[in-house]
């Protein structure tokens, strides 16, 4: 019984690992935007999400030649994939994109 009880305690500590970090990042950015009255930059939002969510942070992590974190949509494919969820295909109607960066 003690062993079974210990197993049940451990199950409470198990967390779900998201299957698609791009969708998780998209949802977390939407949460950050909810209730905001001012415009926000995509990279700033993503950086805020990365501070709060370890899965998104590790997914987007890439370093450039100088050893600095690469936050560029142009050179970091994973960040570009998240960005494309906002700019291509069926977009969330609650979000107004004012300018696109290439």
Evaluate whether 30 touches 48 at the Cβ level (below 8 Å): no
pLDDT at 87: 84
Of residues 69 and 5, more confidently modeled: 69
**Distance, CA of 22 to CA of 13 (rounded, Å):** 24
> What's the predicted TM-score (pTM) here?
0.74
pLDDT digits (tens, 9 = 90+) for 50-85: 999 999 999 999 998 999 999 999 999 999 999 998
Structure tokens at 68: 């600095």
Whether residue 7 has pLDDT greater than 90: no
The owner of tokens 């690992």 is 17
Task: Report, as an integer, the average pLDDT of 37-43.
Answer: 86
């Amino acid at each position: 019984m003690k062993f079974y009880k210990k197993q049940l305690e451990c199950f409470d500590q198990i967390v779900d690992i998201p299957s698609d970090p791009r969708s998780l990042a998209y949802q977390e950015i939407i949460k950050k935007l909810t209730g905001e009255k001012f415009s926000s930059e995509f990279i700033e939002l993503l950086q805020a999400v990365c501070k709060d969510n370890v899965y998104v942070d590790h997914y987007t992590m890439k370093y450039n030649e100088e050893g600095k974190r690469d936050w560029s949509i142009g050179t970091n494919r994973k960040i570009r994939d998240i960005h494309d969820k906002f700019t291509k295909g069926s977009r969330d109607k609650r979000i107004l994109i004012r300018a696109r960066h290439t």
